[in-house]
Structures are given as C-alpha cells and as structure tokens.
Structure 1
Amino acid sequence: MSANSFNVSTFEVPAEATIAVGPVGSPAELSTSSAAEPSPSPSRPSREVQVRAYLLRAALSADPSLSRISRVLSSQSALDLNLMTAQYGLTFISELIKAINNWRTLVILKRFAVLAKYFDTIIVATEIRPPKIAVRMRKLSSLISDIRIFNRLWGIISMLEWAVSVVKNPPTDHLIRAITYVQVVANNLFQPMENLAYLSSHEIIPLSTSTTNSLWLISTRLWALHIILEFIRLYRERQLSKLEPTSEKASEADLAKQMKADQLWIRKLIVNSAYFPLTIHWSMTTGFLSDLAVGFLGSIAGGARLIPLWKES
C-alpha cells in the first residue's frame, strides 16, 4: 500500500482468532476460540475510520493548491497584485450592481408614472438606495486600497535599488536609456510624496488639507509621466526587435522564446493602456471617469498581470 492511499475496507483480525482452512474448493472458515459460535462477518468500517479517510483524501488533494497559493503570495509584489485585482474587481462589481439596481428602479417608476396619469396620482421621486451588498463590497475595496498604500510606505527602498541597478547597468539603446533615467527620477519623487500624502490624510503628519491634496496630485502626475514614457519605451522596443536579424532555420527553442517575448510585450501594452486613463483621471482635481470605469480599467490592469502569474506558479 502506498503512503498516499488509505484502504478503508481493511480490518484487523482479533488476536485470539484462528484460521481454519477447508479442503480444496471449500471456503476458509474464520473461527474464534469458541467453536460453537458462528464466525462473524466482516463489518463495515466505523465512522471514525471513514472520517479519517475522507480527511486524508482532502488533505492530499488540497496540498498542491495550497502550495501554489503560497508561491503566488510569497512576494510583496505578487501580494499587491492580488490585492489590486481584488480592489478594482470589487469596485467594478459593486458599481455594476448599483447601475442595474438604478435601471430596474427607473423602469418601475416609469411604469407607475404611466398608471398615475389615469388615477391623477403624483409620484414623488426619492433617492435610490444602493443594495447593501454593493455598499459592503465598496467598503472592502476602500479598505484594500488603504492597505496597499500602507504597504507601499517602504516602496522607496525598491525604487532606490532600481536606481542603483540602472546606474550600474544602463540600457544600451540611447532612447531607452534616457527614458529609463527619467522614469527612475519620477518614481523616486512619486513614492515619498505619496507617503507624505497618505500619512497626512490619516492625521499622522500635520499637513494642511491643501498641501495634502497637492501631494496627491503631484505624485499621481509623476506616475502618469512614467506611464506616458512607457508607451515610448514599448514602441522603441518593438522597433529594435524588428531590426534584429532573423534566421530561416531558427530552432524551436528560439521560436518559443520569441513568442514568449511577444506575449510579454502585448501584456505590457494592455496594462499600460489601462493605467493611462486612470493616471490622467487622478491627476485632475475633478476626474472624468466614473467609478464603474475606474473599476473596469483597474481590473484589466491587474488581471492582465495576475492571470499569467497564476499560470506560471
């Protein structure tokens, strides 16, 4: 019997039992010390044995899934990516529930308005209350957003590490090198400004409301600058990839590597395209996107990176 199997039909023969073997062709008889008593038939496994067997099977089947989840959530960046997708997904779903609820309410009110004409009745419009589930989902989304910003308080360390690595090993292409330098400066200014704005909004640092709002706006505009430059970088990378010499007798490994690089480039383009309107929206004192659009775009930006992460785990 293998270590990963458990035979629930196995039972132990009592210590005092003896085995009586009959002639060839006759069944063996199981008898106890008392020959007069009939031999007991094998009983079904007890409930305790059945429960243990079920728990063992459940543990064996859950072990690979738990290991996979642990690998995906082991790093800070992967954890933030999961939280981000959950945050914007909850925002999108909650706003979608609200929109459907508002539409259904308006349809009902229109029908009542038609009936009111025949009965000389006045319908007084009141505020449409969102479903409780939508309100709770939105609160959870706000909480996740706060957690993500709190976790980024130490993000300046990784930003400085990125800056050091770029100085040590700058990109070879002159345009990509210039873009990378500007992105490094923008991100190293963005992170401390966001930290100050966050701590001030929680009344940990004594800053005025106008100063806090300015820090939020400036930090987001620096992020928007990074996103705009990323479009130029992606365009330049595509140009350079087309200039590389191609061999007609490329191996399967080379083709697979090129296909993976193309998929990565497309994924980066999708993520950047989803981030772009969000950063412009948050860079303005009064944004132009609805909460439904914010949730949808944020879900795309998170899901486009999260799905491959789960597939590779």
Structure 2
Amino acid sequence: MSYSKPTTLAKLNDTVLGCFSAFPPSEFIDHLVRYLSTYGGSDKLFAILEYTLKLLIPLLNKRAELQKRAGLRQVGTSITAARFSKLASSISDSRTLWRFWGLFTIIRWMTSLEHNPQPTRNLLNIERLQGWSMLGYYPLEHLSYLLSHDVLPSKSTLNLSPFLAKKQALQLNAGTLSVWSVRCWAFYVALQFAHLREDRKLLQAKYRSLRKIELKPAEKEELKKRWDAYWSDLVVNLANFPLALHWSTGNKLIKHSVTVDLLNLIAALVSFRSGWKATALPSPLPASASVHPAEEVVEPVVSENASAYNI
C-alpha cells in the first residue's frame, strides 16, 4: 500500500508564496530595470506614454462624436479621453518637476569638457555654447514652473537701493519666462546640427582610415554603433527643431496640436531606442559615439510648458 506524502505548511508556502520559482530569470527584465533606473530611461518612457495618450484623445473624441450622430450615445465627448487628458497632464507636470536637477548635470558636463581632451576645437566650442544655453534654460524653466503653480508670487516689491526711498515693483510672468527658456533650448538645438556635422566628419575620417585594413568583428560593431547613434541623434534633432521654433514663437508656427504631439512622440521613441541600446550588456555605447553628452537632460519635451502656460 502506498501513501501520498502529506502536504506540509512549508510546501504550501513554497507553492503559494514561492510561485515565482516557476519563472526563469529574464535578461529583458534585468535590462528594463537597468534602463528605467536612470533618469533618462524613466523620463523617455513617460514621454512615450504622455504623447501616445495625447494622440489618442482626439481619436476617442472623434469616435464619440460619430457615435452620437449615429444615435449610439447621448454625448459627443469621450469620458476615456477626459481621463487620458488628466493622466497626460499629470505626467507632463511631473516630468517638468523632475528636471529640477538637470542644472547640476549641465554643470558637471561643462566641468568635464574643460578637464578632458575633445576630438576637435570646433566640437569643444560648440559644446561650450550648448552648455551655456542650457544654463539659461533651466533656471528660467524652474522659475516659470514655480510661478505657474503659485509657489512664488508673480509680483514683489524690492528696495533696490538703500539710498532710494521709493521701492521698485518687480513683476514676473510665467509665460514670458517659459518662452525665453525655450529660446535658450532652441539655441541648443540649432547648435546640435553643427555638432552633428562635426560628428559626421569624424566618422567619415574613421571609416576611410579603417577601410584600407581588414576590420575585426569588434571594430566593425563599434563603427556600426557609432553610425547608428549618429542617425538616431539626427532624427531626434530634426523632430526637435520645428518644436523649438514653434514654442519659441509662442505656439504660432505649427497649426495643429496633433503635429506637435506626433513630433514629440517620434523624438521620444528614437531617444528611448538609443538609450535602450546604450544600456545593453555586455558593453555600453562607446563614449566616442555621436550621442551627445547632455542627451539625458536635453529632451524634445523640455519646452512643453510654453503651451501649458497658454502663451
């Protein structure tokens, strides 16, 4: 006679509480956690979610309008679209708040520029100018954000000189500060085209020098990564440039918000892809590739507050 082994409390615990033992370790999950643990990775993921929601909102409202005309519903607006709008707005606000530490990254980057040799003098000067443009962008955006949320008063009275009896009134406008912050970022984006031109020259020179010899597989892979990073960076900047011009002119260049959201989504997707490949094992993207050192903090959405403040 055979007896079944009695179920013990330990086995029950292993079955219920230890059910994840049935799943093997996943390199994809490891990679995802590794990438999303960085500021750039989490921000790019939220950017994709934000602009995907913004693109879905008009589609849902249009569907609701057609259903009302067909007599399938009483109202011509979508409740889901309204909820998506609230979530996208919350994500946008949170991403702006998270950028408050971006200024420290720029300072670290500019310090590194002066203490490490650069490939060419032109690249050094381009990145110096880009760094100074971001030193203008971040404080203006931070101040605009605090004013728009009533953390700081928009008007204050200052005694600018102890010898003057009359005090001077200082009035700040969140929308104006936001536009000027975007203009600083637009200057960065314009300079990035010059940066990419220098990157292309270096890559072409590298290719010509290596074409005469038989490349090892590792060298071929490195060169391929550099070109891939270059083209990704170019696509992101091409998406950023019309956005920078649009926000810098007070939202007067691009007529349809769908176009703005689509450009932002393209830039976010390509940036996410670049960051994903850069954090892949066994080796990250080479430091000499064309991905810009400040890419983590320079985003296609850094200037979205220009529209949020109704400029």
For 1:92, the aligned partner's letter is L
Counting matched residue pairs gives 257
What does 1:143-182 align with in structure 2 at a 5 Å threshold? 143-169=90-116, 171-182=118-129
Relative to structure 2, which stretch is displaced further, 229-238 or 43-52?
43-52
- Partner of residue 135, structure 1: 82
- Partner of residue 199, structure 2: 237
C-alpha distance 298-47 of structure 1, shift in aligned 2 (>3 A): farther
Deviations 1:60-100 (A, max 9, x none): 52753654433122222222222222222221222332344
For 1:180, the aligned partner's letter is E
- Partner of residue 92, structure 1: 55
For 1:216, the aligned partner's letter is S
C-alpha distance 68-251 of structure 1, shift in aligned 2 (>3 A): closer
C-alpha distance 270-128 of structure 1, shift in aligned 2 (>3 A): farther
Tell whether the 8 Å contact from 1:89 to 1:298 is kept in structure 2 after alignment.
Answer: no
What does 1:43-62 align with in structure 2 at a 5 Å threshold? 52-53=14-15, 56-61=18-23
Among 257, 260, 284, the alignment partner of 1:294 is 260
Structure 2: runs of 5 or more not aligned: 156-170, 282-311
For 2:179, the aligned partner's letter is L
Name the SS of the counterpart of 2:92 in structure 1: helix
Q: CA deviation at 1:59?
A: 4.5
C-alpha distance 284-108 of structure 1, shift in aligned 2 (>3 A): farther
Give the TM-score taking structure 1 as reference length.
0.72
Q: CA deviation at 1:51?
A: 8.2
Among 195, 201, 204, the alignment partner of 2:142 is 195
Tell whether the 8 Å contact from 2:232 to 2:274 is kept in structure 1 after alignment.
Answer: no
Name the SS of the counterpart of 1:205 in structure 2: coil
C-alpha distance 203-59 of structure 1, shift in aligned 2 (>3 A): farther
For 2:231, the aligned partner's letter is I
Deviations 1:182-218 (A, max 9, x none): 1011001100000000000011111258621111000
- Partner of residue 214, structure 1: 176
Q: CA deviation at 1:131?
A: 0.9
Q: CA deviation at 1:248?
A: 3.4
Relative to structure 2, which stretch is displaced further, 169-178 or 247-256?
169-178
- Partner of residue 256, structure 1: 221
C-alpha distance 277-54 of structure 1, shift in aligned 2 (>3 A): farther
Relative to structure 2, which stretch is displaced further, 261-270 or 289-298?
289-298
Q: CA deviation at 1:236?
A: 2.1
Q: Which is higher, the Rg of structure 1 or of structure 2? A: 1
- Between the aligned partners of 2:33 and 2:219, the Cα distance in structure 1 is 32
Give the TM-score taking structure 2 as reference length.
0.72
Tell whether the 8 Å contact from 1:96 to 1:292 is kept in structure 2 after alignment.
Answer: no
- Partner of residue 265, structure 1: 230
Name the SS of the counterpart of 2:55 in structure 1: helix
- Partner of residue 281, structure 1: 246
For 1:181, the aligned partner's letter is R
Q: CA deviation at 1:240?
A: 2.6
- Between the aligned partners of 2:244 and 2:22, the Cα distance in structure 1 is 45
Among 58, 65, 69, the alignment partner of 2:32 is 69
Q: CA deviation at 1:296?
A: 1.6
Q: CA deviation at 1:43?
A: 7.8
Relative to structure 2, which stretch is displaced further, 203-212 or 224-233?
203-212
Tell whether the 8 Å contact from 2:68 to 2:76 is kept in structure 1 after alignment.
Answer: no
Tell whether the 8 Å contact from 1:90 to 1:141 is kept in structure 2 after alignment.
Answer: yes
Relative to structure 2, which stretch is displaced further, 156-165 or 285-294?
285-294
Q: CA deviation at 1:181?
A: 1.4
Deviations 1:249-281 (A, max 9, x none): 121211111111111111111111121222222
Tell whether the 8 Å contact from 2:232 to 2:271 is kept in structure 1 after alignment.
Answer: yes
- Partner of residue 158, structure 2: none
- Between the aligned partners of 1:240 and 1:55, the Cα distance in structure 2 is 56
C-alpha distance 293-47 of structure 1, shift in aligned 2 (>3 A): farther
Name the SS of the counterpart of 1:178 in structure 2: helix
